[in-house]
Chains A and B, each alone.
Chain A
Amino acid sequence: MALLDVEDLSVTFARRGQRTVRAVDGVSFSVDAGEVVGLVGESGCGKSVTSLAIMGLLPKQPGLQVAGKAVFDGTDLLQIDERSRRDIRGRDVAMIFQDPLSSLNPVVPIGLQVTEVLTRHRGMRGEAASKEAAQLLDRVGIPDPKRRLKEYPHQLSGGMRQRALIAMAVACQPRLLIADEPTTALDVTIQAQILELLKDLVRDSGTALVMITHDLGVVAGMCDTINVLYGGRVVETARRRPLFRQPRHPYTVGLLGSVPRLDAGRGERLNPIPGSVRDLLPWPDGCAFAPRCDRRVDACLGEPPELVLTHDGRSYRCVNPAPLPGLTSGDEVRAAVPGQATPGSVPAQAVPDEPPAVPGLAAAPSEEETP
């Protein structure tokens, strides 16, 4: 059984006199123990709201409705009371946030912000707690941790702050770590360091990681499985390599195509997806991406596209997906007959070596899959 099973999660914000906003509209995905799962999408697609809903951290306000299930290790996190949720948060499920400066309390020393987790969940106090905190800071690569414990967030650099936040998150060796755009606010060089650190921590401790990002470079380097979100729904799920080689949903194709490429000729224009994430169709009326989609057909409108599961464990939500090279759609149906492939493995005909659909991105995903 999966460590975290999110099923049909939906979050709506209702305001008197205003249209109800469905920020998350039936998101389902699962995370196995020790797995690195990516949630990818543009700003506003519901990735952060999804993570906050799982953690129970959405700001309490009238009109907020969270439905569906988020089953962590047999417990539905959405059903339990506030007290047990506080027990789980920080101990079993921890979270890393986007902006390390604003996510740290400016008037409390770093040390106390680390030890307070140890005190809360591991009952450590005084000397033992500060010793453990120093070790944690050391583990996330903060030099001279004893001195840093006494310092305040404004005395640390951006990368150090994010490291400190990561130290707080891994303090109780959680089984699941949710990282919400952990590198967005950082310099590029620091970004790589932080991603390396996260990778190492995940590998060493066996913690599962949900990586929320808009940055395909981040997912390419880290994730085992990737969920692409659009308009509050998962539109495509695949293992890393197949997703980068043969994206099926036109939105995924567009996302990959809009990444600037070094091998593109001078003066060649970027390929943005036309329109903006606000031009979405409500799901009940058809595919939310249809207004921006270049593969739109009549069947896209009228009702939401069904989730298509293929034999190799991928799924997408599209009636007219991008074709696989060398296969007509009829071939694919035949190839998709269950039993022909073991789940999770990728049959040869589905993944021809050449040519990848997105040559510019082929390098990163073609590395060995990280365990």
Chain B
Amino acid sequence: MFRFIVRRLLQLIPTLFGLSILLFIWLRRLPGGPETAILGERGTPEMRAAIRRNLGLDEPILIQYGRFVRRMIRLDLGTSISTKREVTTEFLQRFPGTVELTITAMVIAVGIGIPLGYLAARRRGRFLDHASVGGSLIGICIPVFFLAYILKAIFSENLGWFPSSGRQDPTIGATRITNFFVLDGLMTREWDAAADALMHLVLPALALASIPLAIIVRITRASVLEVLNEDFVRTAEAKGLTENVVRRRHVLRNAMLPVVTSIGLLTGGLLSGAVLTETVFAFSGIGAFLADSINQRDYPVLMGFIMIIAVVYVLVNLIVDLSYSLIDPRVRVR
């Protein structure tokens, strides 16, 4: 187990190395550069050259890359060209919002998706089954930003149940510790701050949950249908076990493997930021900031953020693999 984790973390090194080379090449091939973003179309060639020299972009690309790697080894991601702040600082400020949003969305998707998928399988061919399969198709088809606008219009602007933008009401004056606003509120016992942050999460998380929810419903339904036909479920029934025990211990536990895989992949995807949802709800996560950075050709931010996201993705999938061995003893982690 320990060796497995260590090996997987060591595999990260070549992965990150390869990713950094690819990123370096791709980003430099984007037309224009930070000097264009800063100066616009009006800059003279001399001004452009001065900016490039300042940023060290006039040197040969290999030397630039070498400098980047040397900094990376010291865990220094450099300074943002557009905000002039440390990339690490920018990341630590924005990523908690994305994490909170992702967790809330996945809690909604899993909390509704698994029971709904199970019930659909149990009532196969009846109304609930058709409704959830059809509903999940709609969930996959509706563009997330469209759903986000509709949710905002109904539940925020018309009914006023939830706030329409931001991560927290600034007038609350909450204390910041980790930048996870809900967590901060709980840690400092500022209950109103935690509740307010949570209310701000509901609508964007609902919009963001739509696709994962639909996928989880479908995978759970298919998986449960398969398990219901298994002989050991019949054995469990033959023992006269209560429905509750049969469902929990014998059906769901076996049906969870493919669901867990998809939860891992979906979580990893959501953690790389939800540009459109964050934009609609003016929610400061990494999605919108990343999109801006692409427009600004902010190389250090792009390089740093994408590298960290890659690490996070690998870690999430490592957790998924480890949870396999908890669910299924046949999947031995060595």
Contact = CB atoms under 8 A, between A and B. Distances in A.
Contacts of B250: 105, 108
A99 B235 CA distance: 11
Given A97-B231, A116-B249, A120-B245, A107 B238 contact: no
A94 interface: yes
Contacts of A55: 238
Contacts of A91: 240
A103 interface: yes
Interface in B220-250: 229-232, 234-242, 245, 249-250
Contacts of A85: 240
Interface of B: 125, 229-232, 234-242, 245, 249-250, 253-254, 327-330
A57 B231 CA distance: 11
Given A57-B238, A120-B239, A121-B240, 15 more contacts: A86-B240, A94-B239, A97-B238, A102-B230, A103-B231, A103-B234, A104-B232, A105-B232, A105-B253, A106-B329, A109-B329, A116-B241, A116-B245, A116-B249, A154-B329
Interface in A99-125: 99, 102-109, 112, 116-117, 120-121
Contacts of A88: 240
Contacts of B253: 105, 107-108
B242 A120 contact: yes
A62 B125 contact: yes
A77 to B, nearest CB: 12
- From A59, A103, A154, residue with most partner B Cβ within 10 Å: A103
Interface in A138-174: 152, 154, 165, 168
Contact of B241 (A59, A90, A102): A90
A81 B330 CA distance: 38
Nearest to B330: A154
List the 4 closest A-B pairs by CB distance, nearest first: A90-B240, A89-B240, A90-B239, A102-B231
Given A62-B125, A107-B328, A116-B245, A97 B235 contact: yes
A62 B232 CA distance: 22
Contacts of B230: 102
Given A103-B232, A105-B232, A106-B232, A116 B239 contact: yes
Contacts of A59: 229
Nearest to B243: A86
A89 B328 contact: no
Contacts of A104: 232, 235
A109 B245 CA distance: 15
Contacts of B237: 57, 89
A168 B254 contact: no
Contacts of A106: 232, 254, 328-330
Contact of B240 (A62, A103, A120): A120
Contacts, number: 81
Contacts of A152: 329-330
Nearest to A62: B125
A95 interface: yes
A50 B230 CA distance: 19
Interface of A: 55, 57, 59, 62, 85-91, 94-95, 97, 99, 102-109, 112, 116-117, 120-121, 152, 154, 165, 168
A107 B329 contact: yes
Indicate the member of A57, A105, A106, A116 with the most B CB atoms within 10 Å: A105
Nearest to B232: A105
Contacts of B125: 62
A102 B240 contact: no
A103 B235 contact: yes
Given A94-B238, A99-B231, A120-B239, A105 B330 contact: no
B235 A107 contact: no
18 contacts: A88-B240, A89-B239, A90-B238, A90-B239, A90-B240, A90-B241, A95-B238, A97-B235, A104-B235, A105-B250, A105-B253, A106-B254, A106-B330, A109-B329, A117-B239, A120-B241, A152-B329, A154-B330
B238 A89 contact: yes
A107 B330 CA distance: 8
Nearest to B254: A107
A86 B239 CA distance: 8
A245 B237 CA distance: 40
A57 B240 CA distance: 10
A246 to B, nearest CB: 37
Contacts of B242: 86, 120
B295 to A, nearest CB: 49
Contacts of A62: 125
A111 to B, nearest CB: 13
Contacts of B235: 97, 103-105, 165, 168
A95 B237 CA distance: 10
B241 A86 contact: yes
A66 to B, nearest CB: 16
Contacts of B231: 97, 99, 102-103
Contacts of B327: 107
Nearest to B234: A57
Nearest to A55: B238
A95 B235 CA distance: 8
A154 B250 CA distance: 16
B240 to A, nearest CB: 3
A270 to B, nearest CB: 32
Nearest to B250: A105
Given A97-B235, A103-B231, A154-B330, A108 B249 contact: yes
A278 B17 CA distance: 65
Nearest to A105: B232
B218 to A, nearest CB: 22
